[in-house]
Amino acid sequence: MEVKEENKEEYEIHGDFSQDTISAKYDELCRNYEEVYNSVGWPDPVQCAEKAIENGFTGESHVLDMGCGTGLVVDYLKEKSGAETVNAIGIDASEGMLKKAKAKGLYSEIRNFLLCNPENFNTNHSDLLGKFDFVTASGLLAEGHATPDVFDEMIGALKVGGYAIFTSRIEYLEPLNYQKGMDERVESGEWEFVKKEAYEKYSKAKDCPLGRFKPVMSEVFVFRKL
């Protein structure tokens, strides 16, 4: 990976995330989001798409893409499955990211709100409850992005038997309580663990680490709603 001196700032502004400022932050990052992430190596969206396909995704499936950003999960779902269209609704906190997703014309509907508030989700988005075969969240479980409350929104949105598929850096699982959140919902019988797989991300930044972009291990998780 080669980054010109004048472009380095585009990599270094990624970071210092907090839920209070997440939408403004991604409104800024959206201008070069895909160029930056693709240049460092960003397997999260294709990991989510492949796991959905392995678990029965077809062009008939209904997908809720949480933290959809510019729409990379649906890009890959379409490309990898060969489906002509994907029935997908995208949710994201950032209007700027959603503008890019909208321009691709891949989502049947897009909603702009902050996740991790199950009360708001259940009250103001009750039409999404129990409707989806797949909920995907690529790159949403991260520092300053999402709390484990998002698992309740995933479970709420899924049909019984539907799949929640999401990624997280391994180093976030304990400190951000993601592992605890997953385990608690297994114990309470809300979902069952299906699979997880580890992979490295930001691999292309190996020789040129910039800001938060250096090779790091992540996992993709699959849970099935009971």
What gap in Å lies between CA 47 and CA 198, rounded to an integer? 10
Give the shortest CB-83-to-ligand SAM separation in angstroms.
19
The CB density around residue 34, as the number of other CB atoms within 10 Å, is 15
Nearer to ligand SAM, 7 or 19 (CB): 19
Stretch that binds ligand SAM, among 54-62, 64-72, 123-131, 194-202 (CB under 6 A): 64-72
Nearer to ligand SAM, 124 or 161 (CB): 124
Nearest residue to ligand SAM by CB is: 69
Give the shortest CB-146-to-ligand SAM separation in angstroms.
5
Nearer to ligand SAM, 25 or 62 (CB): 25
Q: Interface mask (CB under 6 A) for ligand SAM, residues 148-177, using x and -? A: ------------------------------
The string of DSSP letters for the chain reads ----GGGHHHHHTS----TTTHHHHHHHHGGGHHHHHHHH---HHHHHHHHHHHTT--TT-EEEEET-TTTHHHHHHHHHH--S--EEEEEES-HHHHHHHHHHT--SEEEE---S-HHHHHHHTGGGTT-EEEEEEEEEESTTT--TTHHHHHHHHEEEEEEEEEEEEGGGTTTTTHHHHHHHHHHTTSEEEEEEEEEEESGGGSSS-BTTBS-EEEEEEEEEE-
Give the shortest CB-212-to-ligand SAM separation in angstroms.
11
Q: Which of residues 68-107 bind ligand SAM (CB under 6 A)?
A: 68-69, 72-73, 92-94, 97
Give the shortest CB-28-to-ligand SAM separation in angstroms.
11
Among 3, 7, 13, 19, which residue sits at the site for ligand SAM (rule: CB under 6 A)? 19
What gap in Å lies between CA 178 and CA 182, rounded to an integer? 6
Nearer to ligand SAM, 53 or 73 (CB): 73
Nearer to ligand SAM, 118 or 209 (CB): 118
- If one asks whether residue 208 binds ligand SAM (CB under 6 A), the answer comes out as no
Q: Which of residues 114-133 bind ligand SAM (CB under 6 A)?
A: 114-116
Q: Which residues would be at the binding site for ligand SAM (CB under 6 A)? A: 19, 22, 26, 44-45, 67-69, 72-73, 92-94, 97, 114-116, 138-140, 145-146
